[in-house]
Amino acid sequence: MSSQAGLRAACAALLLLTVAAGCGGADDEPRVAASAARAVVPRPLNVEDPADVPSAGPAPDCVPRASLRPAGPLPGPGRMPAGTAMARIAQRGRLVVGIDQNAYLFSYRDPATGDLVGFEIDIARAIARAMFGDPKAIEFRSITTADRIPVIERGEVDMVIRTMTMTCERWQQVSFSTEYLTSHQRLLVRRGSGIREFAHLGGRKVCATRGSTSIRAIAAQPSRPIPVSTDSTLDCLVLLQQGQVDAVSTIDVLLAGLAAQDPTTEITGAAVSDEPAGVGISRRSPELVRFVNGVLERIRSDGTWSRSYQRWLPSLGRAPAPPAPVYRD
């Protein structure tokens, strides 16, 4: 019996065993070639691509611009008629307004001061001034486009001032003040992209906010662009800058706000819609609608409207005359 040979074999086995146990054979794993790696572009939160666009529900024929006539002269600040929505708001001590905090020039947070400023904020302040004599007696609630009607219906805000287009369909759910700004849906594209019209955007991605009239208009274009929806129009500009969409399409006044933040973009294309913007108010408070219309009458006539337009929207050209009010009664 060669026990020495046996021992040698055993030692060799032992050695092999330890080598196997210690090293685990990590050297022959395939490595991913670095040249195969590709960038993954991030996205803003809540982007839908392609967007799920609900079809327009049946709506009765109406004059979308027609609102309720003011009930005589405005009551003075602090003297709201008892039992009205205005009296309840006065009781609370502040007006609660649903706004956007990302719409440059319309209603946005000024990064330098943290204050909300813009054309629509001026309108909200005018309403607060008429009610309290204090333009600062406001609590702003930032809301998404899709939340505009729900927050009014749930009574979480007294009114929404957020470039809300007056349509017959929406009149079924909420009331509107008279028109405070006229606009038309157009396109924002990268300069030099060669895109001029919706006709150039067949099969390409076009961005607008969820729950807006704009996203429906995009989906309805005969060239069949792909609608992409976001929570905020500003997120559409981020997507355009990052090359994730080919155009942004919403009302021209909002597009002007986007173009002002990025000079490499431009507004183009024919107007594909007529979009009157009004203050959204609950259907249960017609007296508040009449009150707001009274305030709008006043700022149209005393030059407040024109001064505000000139201050915030000079990029849209010389201030036009304020939109003439249309009343239904």
Residue of 43, 69, 88, 224 that binds other proteins (CB under 8 A): 43
Site string for other proteins, 104-123 (x = CB under 8 A): x---xxxxxxxx--------
Least distance from other proteins to the Cβ atom of residue 181, Å:
19
Least distance from other proteins to the Cβ atom of residue 157, Å:
9
CA angle centred on 214, ends 212 and 219, rounded to 5°: 110
Asked if residue 150 lies in contact with residue 141, where contact means CB atoms within 8 angstroms, the answer is: no
CA–CA gap between residue 208 and residue 51 (Å, rounded): 9
Beta bridge partners of 200: none
What are the start-end ranges of the H helices in the chain?
3-23, 85-92, 119-132, 148-153, 168-171, 213-219, 233-241, 252-259, 286-301, 304-312
Selection from 297, 304, 287, 302 nearest residue 323 by Cα: 297
Residue of 120, 122, 147, 158 that binds other proteins (CB under 8 A): 147
Q: Is 48 a residue that touches other proteins (CB under 8 A)?
A: no
259: phi then psi, degrees, rounded to nearest 5 = -60, -30
Least distance from other proteins to the Cβ atom of residue 230, Å:
9
Least distance from other proteins to the Cβ atom of residue 60, Å:
32
Selection from 281, 296, 279 nearest residue 156 by Cα: 281
Q: Is 237 a residue that touches other proteins (CB under 8 A)?
A: yes
Question: Cβ closer to other proteins: 48 or 297?
Answer: 48
Q: Is 139 a residue that touches other proteins (CB under 8 A)?
A: yes
Binding site for other proteins (CB under 8 A): 1, 3, 6-7, 10-11, 13-14, 17-18, 21-22, 29, 32, 37, 39-45, 93-94, 96, 101-104, 108-115, 139-144, 147, 232, 234-235, 237-238, 260-262
